[in-house]
C-alpha cells in the first residue's frame, strides 16, 4: 500500500471484535480492503472504518470531476453503501459518513476521532438499536396541485354555447381535482402524524420533482425519513399502511430498514486532501 494513498472513511462505530471481524471481510469504493482506525487518545473504543484510496481519483480536483460522471458516482455510492450495510448487518451501531469523506492520512483520521469523541459517543448511544425507514407519499397521476381558487357554485351547462360549456366543464374538473387533492393532503398529514407517533425522530426531506422522482407515478407529496426502534419496524409498516388504506389517489412507499443516514450528522474532515 503506497504511503501517498488517502484515507477514505465510511463510518464511525465502536471497536468490538465483531466489528473488526466484519470489517476484515469488506472491500471499498476502490476495491481496497477495509480496516478500523482508532483514535490516538485512549478511552472509550471508537473507530473509523476506512480504506486507502488513490489520490488520482479521490484528491479534491479529480474527485470533483468524478462527481459529474454519473456512472462513476453510482458505482461509488453503491460501494460506499455496501460497506455501511455490511457493518450494520454485523450488529454494530454505525454512524454512516457522507460520501467521499477523505483524510490526507491515518493521523488526520485519528485526530478527527479525538476531536469529536464526545459527539460520536452520544450519537452512537442515541442510535443504537434503531434503524431508518423512508416513507414517500404520492398523489395519483391524475390528481395535480391546484393552480387556481375553486369555484363556489356549479355552473349550468345546458343552454350555453360550445365555448362557454367547455369552460364550465373545465371548471368542474378543476373543482373535482382540488377536492381530490385536499383529500390526499389530509390523508398524507394523517400518515405523517401516525409515523411520528411510531418513530422517535423524523427528518423531512424535500419532495422529489422532475428527474429526481424517477419513474414513480404521480406527484411526490411527502418524502420523510424516520428513526425507528429495530423491534418496531413491522408495527411501523403496519401502522403507516393502515393510516393510508382506503384513501383514493394516495400511494405509500416504505423503504428500509437502512443505516440511519439521515440522523447521523456528517463530520467535516479535520484535514483537507491535497488538490
SS3 string, 126-153, reads HHCCEEEEEEEEEECCCCCCCCCCCCCC
Residues in the chain: 275
Residue 213's pLDDT is what? 59
Residue 153's pLDDT is what? 46
Residue 72's pLDDT is what? 92
Residue 18's pLDDT is what? 82
For 32-53, the DSSP string reads: PBPEEE--SS-SS-EEEEEEEE
Between CA 119 and CA 142 the distance in angstroms is 47
Q: What is the torsional sign of CA 111, 117, 121, 127? A: negative
Between CA 133 and CA 150 the distance in angstroms is 37
- Local structure of 31: helix, strand or coil: coil
Backbone angles phi, psi at 42, to 5 degrees: -75, 155
275 residues of the chain, pLDDT tens digit each: 445 789 999 999 988 888 888 898 999 999 999 999 988 776 668 899 999 999 999 999 999 899 889 999 999 999 999 999 999 888 878 899 989 899 999 999 999 898 888 888 888 888 888 999 999 998 877 666 665 444 444 555 455 555 565 565 566 556 665 676 777 788 888 899 999 999 999 999 988 876 555 666 788 888 999 999 999 999 999 999 998 888 788 889 999 998 898 988 654 444 444 33
Amino acid at each position: 500500500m503506497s504511503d501517498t494513498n488517502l484515507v477514505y472513511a465510511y463510518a464511525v462505530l465502536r471497536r468490538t471484535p465483531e466489528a473488526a471481524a466484519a470489517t476484515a471481510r469488506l472491500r471499498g469504493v476502490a476495491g481496497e480492503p477495509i480496516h478500523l482506525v482508532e483514535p490516538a487518545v485512549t478511552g472509550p473504543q471508537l473507530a473509523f472504518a476506512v480504506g486507502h484510496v488513490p489520490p488520482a481519483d479521490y484528491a479534491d480536483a479529480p474527485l470533483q470531476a468524478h462527481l459529474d460522471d454519473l456512472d462513476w458516482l453510482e458505482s461509488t455510492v453503491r460501494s460506499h453503501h455496501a460497506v455501511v450495510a455490511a457493518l450494520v448487518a454485523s450488529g454494530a451501531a454505525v454512524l454512516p459518513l457522507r460520501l467521499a469523506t477523505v483524510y490526507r492520512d491515518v493521523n488526520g483520521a485519528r485526530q478527527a476521532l479525538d476531536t469529536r469523541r464526545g459527539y460520536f459517543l452520544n450519537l452512537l448511544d442515541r442510535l443504537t438499536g434503531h434503524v431508518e425507514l423512508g416513507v414517500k407519499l404520492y398523489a395519483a397521476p391524475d390528481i395535480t396541485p391546484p393552480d387556481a381558487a375553486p369555484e363556489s357554485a356549479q355552473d349550468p351547462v345546458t343552454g350555453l354555447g360550445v365555448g362557454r360549456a367547455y369552460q364550465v366543464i373545465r371548471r368542474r374538473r378543476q373543482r373535482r381535482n382540488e377536492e381530490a387533492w385536499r383529500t390526499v393532503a389530509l390523508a398524507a398529514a394523517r400518515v405523517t402524524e401516525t409515523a411520528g407517533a411510531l418513530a422517535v425522530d423524523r427528518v423531512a426531506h424535500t419532495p422529489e420533482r422532475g428527474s429526481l422522482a424517477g419513474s414513480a407515478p404521480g406527484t411526490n407529496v411527502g418524502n420523510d425519513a424516520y428513526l425507528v426502534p429495530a423491534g418496531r419496524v413491522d408495527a411501523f409498516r403496519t401502522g403507516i399502511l393502515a393510516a393510508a388504506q382506503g384513501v383514493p389517489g394516495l400511494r405509500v412507499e416504505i423503504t428500509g430498514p437502512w443505516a440511519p443516514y439521515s440522523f447521523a450528522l456528517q463530520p467535516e474532515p479535520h484535514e483537507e486532501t491535497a488538490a
